[in-house]
Chains A and B, each alone.
Chain A
Amino acid sequence: MNGARLLAGVLAEPARAREVTDWTAFLCLARAESLLGSLAFRLADQPLPPKVAAILADAQADAGYARTQALWEAEMACRALAGVAPAVLLKGTAYAAAGLDASAGRSIGDLDILVSRTALPQVERALLAAGWEWVKENAYDDHYYRTWMHELPPLIHRERDRMIDVHHTILPLTARRTPDAAALLADSIALPGGLRVLAPEDMVLHAVAHLFADGDLAGGLRNLWDIDRLLRQFAGQDGFWERLGARGRLHQLLPHARRALRLAARLYATPVDRRLAGRGDPADLLYERRLLARDGWGRAGRSLERFGFYLRSHLLRMPPRMLAAHLWKKARR
C-alpha cells in the first residue's frame, strides 16, 4: 500500500496502526510531511512497539515546546501592536491560541498575522521598533512582495530569531480571485487575553486557500489534515455548512473549498456536506496523487508532477506574462 495513503488512514482511524509493517519508513514519511506530532497525539492510546512509543513521546514533547514558543511569539507581536492596529492570528498559532483540535501535535513555524492593508505602514514601523528586522534586503524581492503579494516581506526578530509574516489578505493581489479581506477582519473573533482569530468558516477557507492557491501543494497532506480537524470541530455548529458556502462565494474560494471537502473526505474520511462538496471531477485524482507522492524514505517523489503543480501555483498567483518575467528574474540571479 502507498505509505502516504496509509499515513492518512492511520491519522483518520488510529486503530489502523496495526497495519503498519515498516515503522521506520512510516515515521520517516510522517516526519517529512510535518505530521509526526499530530500522529503522536492520535496514537497516544494505541498499543505500539516500545521504540515507536518512545519516538512519538519525543514528538509530543517537541510539539508542546513548539506550542509554547508560538504562543509566546504571538503575545510578543500582540504587545508590539497594541494600540496600533488589530491583528488576527492565522494558521497554526491561531489553532493553538484558540485551543482547537487542529493544534494537537501540530508543528508551527513562522508567526502569521493578518492586519488591515491601510494599517500596514504603522504595523511595519511598530514591529521594526520592537526588534523585528527584514530578512531579505534585495530590492526586487521587496518590490515583489509589496506590489504583488498578500504579505510584507518576511521579518525576523533579532533576539528571538523567529519569523513573522504580516498578511493584509489571504491571496496574492495578482491572483485571479480576490477574498474580502475587510470581512475577514470585521468578523474575526476576540479570544480571552486580547488575541484574535478568524471566524470558523473563514478559518477553514484560509486553510483551503493555503492548500491550493498558495504554493505547489508541498506539505499538502498536513494542510488537508488541518482542514479535516477544523471541519470535524465546526460541523456541529448550527448552519455551519451554509455559512461556509456563503463565505466561500464571498471570498471567491468556493470551487477550491468544494475540492478540499472532497479530498478530505477521500483521504481522511471527513464527514462533509455532500451537497456543498459536489460531485468529484477527474482532476481530484491528480490532486490526490500529488498529495500522496511522498515515499517511505521521505522523498517528495514524482518531480515532473511537482513541477506541474509549481507552475500551476504560480499561474494562480499572477498572469502568464508577469509569471514569465518573474521566473526569468529569479533564474538569472
Chain B
Amino acid sequence: MRHRLDLRIGPVSYRIGSAWPEPLAELRRLYRNYPAAEAVCDFTVRLEPERPWRRYLRPSVAIRGDYTLPDAAPLPLTLGLLAAEMGMNLQMALGQKRYLLLHAGSVERDGRALILTGHSGAGKSTLAALLGERGWRFMGDEFALLDPATGLLHAFPRAISLKNAALALFDGADPARLGPVLRGTPKGTIRHLQPPAEAIARMDQPARPALILFPRFGRDLDPATRPVGAAEVFVRLTQASTNYVALGARGFDSLTSLVTTVPARAIDYRSSEEAVALVESAWAELR
C-alpha cells in the first residue's frame, strides 16, 4: 500500500495501509502522543479504493483488512478518518480472541475499574469521556477488554468518538485534542477527541473491575439508581460482547466470575451533570 501508519492502543497494535495520505495524516495527528506500535502488529486495516478508478474519481474508501464485512458500504474520502476508525473497530469485533471484548466504556480510580455498558445511544461513551475529564482515569469509550486469565480489565483508550449532541459538551477542550468535525456520517455528526494525557500514559495498566453500570439517558426520566441481578447482567453482557461465543468456555468462565463478584446498578439520568453525580454516589456506596 502507498501509505502506512502503525498504531498501538492498549495491548493491540495495528498496521493501517491507505491508498491516500489524508486519512493517515488525520489519524497521525490524533494519535501523536501514543507510544509506538509493537514491531509485530495484531491486525491489518486497509483503506483502499472500492474499484481501481475510485482512487481519483469521486474517491471512495472501502474498509478492508484481516477481517472484512462483505456488504459494508464504502465512505467518501472526506470521511477517511472515520473509515480508519471503523476498520480498527471491525478487526477488534471480529478478530479479538485474547480478551473477552465488552462493548462498554470504562474508567478507573484507585486501581479499580468502573464498566459502563448499555444500548447504543445510552450515553456510555459520553459518560466515560466526561468522567475522564473529572478525576477518573479514562480507559476506553468503546471496548473494555477482560482478561480471562486474570479477571483484570485492560484499557483500550482509542480516540473518543463524540457524536451529535455530545460534541457541545467538549467545546471547551484543548483544540489540539480535537479532530475535524465529520458531518453526514452514517451516525450523524462525529468529532474525535484525544483522551487525556494520563489515559495515554497509563494505558498499559489494567484494573480490577469494581462496579458495572447500565446508564440510560432520557429527558423525561426520573433520576434513579437500581440494583441489577447477576443473571440479568450476565445476559446483557453476552449481548454486549462480540466474541463471547468464540471464546467458548473461557468466555463463560470469565463472565460468570465477573457478574458474581462485581455489583451492578442501572442509572437513569436527564443530564450529564446528573449522570456524573449518580456515578459518584454509586461508587461511594461500594465501600
Name the B residues within 8 Å of A49 (CB-CB): 39-40
What 1/0 mask marks residues of chain B from 241 to 257 whose CB sits below 8 Å from any chain A CB? 00000111010000000
Cβ contact within 8 Å between B66 and A298: yes
B46 within 8 A of A: yes
B189 within 8 A of A: no
User: Are B17 and A27 within 8 A (Cβ)?
Assistant: no
Return A173 CB to nearest CB of chain B, in Å. Answer: 28
In angstroms, Cα B2 to Cα A299, docked, is: 13
Given contacts A32-B66, A65-B248, whether A27 and B40 have CB atoms under 8 Å apart is yes
Q: How far is the CA of A32 from the CA of B17 in the complex (A)?
A: 15
- Say if the beta carbon of B65 comes within 8 Å of chain A: yes
B44 near A: Cβ within 8 Å? yes
* Closest CB in chain A relative to B241 CB, distance in Å: 15
Q: Does B32 contact A (CB under 8 A)?
A: no
Chain B nearest CB, measured from A224 CB (Å): 22
Inter-subunit contact A24/B40 (CB<8 Å)? yes
Asked if B65 and A298 sit within 8 Å, CB to CB, the answer is yes
0/1 string, B45-85, CB within 8 A of A gives 1: 01000000000000000000110000000000000000000
Which residue of the partner chain A has the closest CB to B96? A58
Docked CA distance A65–B249 (Å)? 9
> Judging by beta carbons under 8 Å apart, are A62 and B246 in contact?
yes
CB distance from B252 to the nearest CB of A (A): 12
Q: Which residues of A contact B46 (CB under 8 A)?
A: 297-299
Chain A residue contacts of B13, Cβ below 8 A: 51
Q: A58 to B246: give the CA distance in the assembly, Å.
A: 11
Q: Which residues of B contact A55 (CB under 8 A)?
A: 40, 42
Min Cβ gap B251→A in Å is: 10
B44 and A297 contacting across the interface, CB-CB below 8 Å:
yes
Partner of B39, one of A23, A59, A61, A64: A23
Closest to B42 in A: A55
Assembled-state Cα–Cα distance A49/B247 (Å): 24
- The distance from the CB of B198 to the nearest CB of chain A, in whole angstroms, is 26
Q: Produce 1/0 per residue, A22-39, CB < 8 A to B.
A: 011001100110000000
Cβ of B97 within 8 Å of any chain A Cβ, yes or no, is yes
Residue in chain B with minimal CB distance to A161:
B245
Please measure, in the bound complex, the distance between the C-alpha atom of A1 and the C-alpha atom of B66, giving whole angstroms.
Answer: 22
A54–B41 Cα distance when bound, in Å, is: 11
Which label, helix, strand, loop or mixed, suits the secondary structure of the A interface? helix
Contacts A24-B15, A28-B66; is A58 near B98 (CB within 8 Å)? Answer: yes
Decide yes or no whether A52 CB sits under 8 A from chain B: yes
Cβ A62 vs Cβ B65 within 8 A: no
Residue from A31, A52, A65, A297 in contact with B17 in the complex, judged by beta carbons closer than 8 Å = A297
**In the bound complex, CA of A31 to CA of B64 (Å):** 13
A54 touching B39 by the CB < 8 A rule? Answer: no
How far does the Cβ of B280 sit from chain A's closest Cβ, in whole Å? 38
For B97, the chain A residues whose CB sits under 8 A away are 58-59, 61-62
Cβ of A122 within 8 Å of any chain B Cβ, yes or no, is no
The docked-state distance in angstroms from the alpha carbon of A275 to that of B17 is 47
Q: Which residue of B lies closest to A51 (CB)?
A: B40
CB distance from B212 to the nearest CB of A (A): 26
Q: B38: CB under 8 A from chain A?
A: yes
A68 within 8 A of B: yes
Q: In the assembled complex, which residues on chain B have CB atoms less than 8 Å from the CB atom of A27?
A: 40
CA distance A55 to B95 in the complex (A): 11
Residues on A with C-beta less than 8 A from B65 are 298
Q: Does B1 contact A (CB under 8 A)?
A: yes
B83 to chain A, nearest CB (A): 16
B17-44 with Cβ < 8 A to chain A:
17, 38-42, 44
Q: Which B-chain residue is minimally distant from A36 (CB atoms)? A: B66
Selected from B40, B66, B247, the residue in CB contact (under 8 A) with A52 is B40
Given contacts A61-B97, A62-B97, A298-B65, A23 and B40 within 8 Å (CB-CB): yes
Most buried by B among A52, A55, A297: A297
Residues of A within 8 A of B42 (CB): 51, 55
How far does the alpha carbon of A59 sit from the alpha carbon of B40 in the complex, in Å?
15
Distance between Cα atoms of A32 and B65 in the complex (Å):
9
A68: chain B residues at CB < 8 Å are 248
List residues of A whose CB falls within 8 A of some B CB.
Answer: 23-24, 27-28, 31-32, 49, 51-52, 54-55, 58-59, 61-62, 64-65, 68, 297-299
Q: Can you sample 12 A-B contacts with CB below 8 Å?
A: A23-B39, A24-B40, A24-B44, A27-B40, A28-B66, A49-B39, A52-B40, A55-B40, A65-B247, A68-B248, A297-B17, A297-B44
- Please give me the 9 A-B residue pairs with the lowest Cβ-Cβ distance, nearest first: A51-B40, A58-B97, A24-B41, A23-B40, A28-B44, A65-B248, A24-B15, A62-B97, A31-B66
Could you list 12 further interchain pairs (A-B, Cβ under 8 angstroms) beyond the known A51-B42, A55-B42? A23-B40, A24-B15, A24-B44, A28-B44, A32-B66, A51-B40, A62-B246, A65-B246, A297-B17, A298-B65, A298-B66, A299-B46
